[in-house]
Structure 1
Amino acid sequence: MARYVVSQLGRFLLLMVAVAVVTFALVSLSPVDPLQANVGQAALMSMSEEKRAALAAYWGADTPMLERFLAWAGDLLHGDLGMSLRYNAPVAEVIASRAANSLALMGVAWVASGVLGFVLGVAAALREGRLLDRFVRGYCFVLAASPTFWVGLLLLIVFSVWLGWFPLGFSVPVGVAAADVTFADALHHMALPAITLSVVGVANVALHTRAKAIDVLNSDYVRFARARGLTRREALIRHGLRNLALPAITLQFSQIAEIFGGSVLVEEVFSYPGLGQAAVTAGLGGDVALLAGIALVSAALVFAGNLAANLIYGLVDPRMRPVRRQKEVADD
């Protein structure tokens, strides 16, 4: 187990270094001028050369990428993510203030899409070729081909503009003090963005679960169980769910990256103040410190999801435990 932990820690550190380097390189190669993006073309043209030079030094526009990266990496080793020039606040504070909204949104959508996708996939497999199966497949094919922002816009038009069931955007009511915002208010504003992420994320889980469930239903041990008098549903529940669990866990935890990417678009559509919206603001404004911080947090989140999936594998199937696998390799 110690060797497994050390190997995972090494992979995590390599991932963080790669994400940081790629983020800084992409921002440096980007055509976005941080001065023009944050000051404005008209205001920038009216400034004196001294003022432009001072702003360029403040934004690091005249500093080579390698020098900026080394300075930022040195501060990071001391626990400092740098200063967000776009928000005029430490990056850690900006991320902390928006992480709660994003994690709540992504957590609800992640759980809902996984549970609903698994149930729909199993139900479609049990009714293979029938009306329910055709409906589930059609639903999944349409949503799998639909952009997240387009689905969000449709739901926003129908349920917010036409029906008025949900607010048009933001995470809290406009004009209400933070102390007066209730949990019901926050949940009401989060509902439609979470529904958008959930209905889009259902497609892959449902289709893969359906395909695996059909394979299980056609297996020899399920046929033997049915020969003993069990129905298809009883045989699948008693003898097939564990075999369905591993691919479902793989899909569920691999969706963390997709959920995070989809939340960026959803937060923009619904003006939801989260990490996704902050990442877009940082990218358009050339705020490399904030963008690198959000990239590191998102990469750590995806890595934690994959690690959790590997650990859960051992609980579902003892043959997948890291210690057992390493012992078998050593014996060979």
Structure 2
Amino acid sequence: MALAVSLNSQQSRIVCFSITRLLLQLCLALLVISLLIAFLPIDPIAQYFNGNVLAVFGEQKAQLIEQLGLDQSILEQIMTFSHALLSGELGYSYHRQEEVSQIIWQRSRYSFILMGSASLVALILGYGIGLVIGLKPKAISSKIITQLALMVNSIPSFWIGLLLITIFAVKLIWLPVGGLAPIGVSPESISFYDKIPYFILPLITLTLGLIAPIILHTKEKVIEVAQSQHVKYARIHGLSTLSIVRFHLLRNTLIPAIVIQLAGFSELFSGSVIIETVFNFPGLGQTLVQAGLSGDTPLLLGITLCCALFVFIGNATASLLSKRLSLSTSF
């Protein structure tokens, strides 16, 4: 009974600490983004008129600045966004003339499909490859795959994307160059089945950026577990390799691979931003870049908030799984 009460109190402290840390991280992220926007050499009014600096000037420009709230200080902008957030809103994008929440909802669907698919494919393939080469680490194929994983891990994702576009879209003309629909056609007007070819190259590029760490980590973990005393004891008693994989390797190496994947949510999102920009993919990452280039403060703050929550959830889940893994191995 006392142990249960102690565990509950410990879990409560962990939850309170996590919430406090999340709030502090969100405040810091919003402050940093606001400071970066303040020092950007971008005229939001010119961007409002698609780069036409002479579209408005004089008193009309001053009225438009006041109407859009661009005359506010950094602190006032943060307070305005926080007030809208407490009211259940994320503000209004003056560049796109839409609600920020509506823009994020429309664009995040494609980004989450891309990131979720890439994360799942990278986990399955990366863990499977790492498990196989970890069972025979001295084989030539294992060494070749390890070197390829190291090479892929060191190549920038945008370079991989450009290479895939050159080969499969320009030379072979098997897949579209980018976007999510044919030129002049809205993505909302075509079915998801027709959008699948537009996902393939971005998905491959993002998967290649995620799979290498999982392969390398799983390989080392498999080697470590395979050389442990209980696995050697199982081999002495005639347990087959398949049974060892099933009863020993999977339970001791799969969760660490999942932890690595969850802990890399920041790399997942940053990679998605780069890839969406390269492929002109209308997702949340490309919207974030466009909001920064246009000086759209409400939209930039709203996307930053969602990104911070996304990364925090991944890191918190990885931390909980890691603690549970350490507790299970200690007993």
State the alpha-carbon separation in 1 of the partners of residues 188 and 315 from structure 2: 37
Q: Which moved more, 1:177-186 or 1:111-120?
A: 177-186
For the residue of structure 2 that corresponds to 1:44, the secondary structure is: coil
Residue 229 (structure 2) aligned to one of 216, 220, 223: 220
Task: Tell me, yes or no, if the aligned pair for 2:127 and 2:254 is still in contact at 8 Å.
Answer: no
Residue 110 (structure 1) aligned to one of 119, 129, 133: 119
Q: Which moved more, 1:234-243 or 1:69-78?
A: 234-243
Structure 2 CA distance for partners of 1:32 and 1:233, relative to 1, 3 Å: farther
1:132-180 superposed Cα distances (whole Å, 9 cap, x missing partner):
2122112211111111111011111111112222111112233446675
Residue 11 (structure 1) aligned to one of 12, 21, 28: 21
**5+ residue gaps in structure 2?**
1-7
Show the counterpart of 2:208: 199
Show the counterpart of 1:284: 293
Show the counterpart of 2:327: 319
State the alpha-carbon separation in 2 of the partners of residues 177 and 29 from structure 1: 35
1:183-230 superposed Cα distances (whole Å, 9 cap, x missing partner):
221222112111110112101111111111111111111111111123
**Deviation of residue 30 (structure 1)?**
2.5
Show the counterpart of 1:171: 180
1:98 to 2:107 alignment: yes
1:57 to 2:72 alignment: no
Task: Tell me, yes or no, if the aligned pair for 1:126 and 1:232 is still in contact at 8 Å.
Answer: no
Task: Tell me, yes or no, if the aligned pair for 1:120 and 1:206 is still in contact at 8 Å.
Answer: yes
State the alpha-carbon separation in 1 of the partners of residues 284 and 264 from structure 2: 17
Show the counterpart of 1:328: none
Amino acid at match of 1:15: Q
Instruction: Give the superposed CA RMSD.
Output: 2.4
Amino acid at match of 2:45: L
TM-score, with structure 2 as normaliser:
0.88
Residue 166 (structure 2) aligned to one of 157, 164, 177: 157
**Deviation of residue 58 (structure 1)?**
3.8
1:91-131 superposed Cα distances (whole Å, 9 cap, x missing partner):
00110110110000000001001111111111111121212
Amino acid at match of 1:150: W
State the alpha-carbon separation in 2 of the partners of residues 256 and 190 from structure 1: 20
Structure 2 CA distance for partners of 1:46 and 1:104, relative to 1, 3 Å: closer
1:253 to 2:268 alignment: no
Q: Which moved more, 1:113-122 or 1:125-134?
A: 125-134
State the alpha-carbon separation in 1 of the partners of residues 185 and 295 from structure 2: 32
TM-score, with structure 1 as normaliser:
0.88
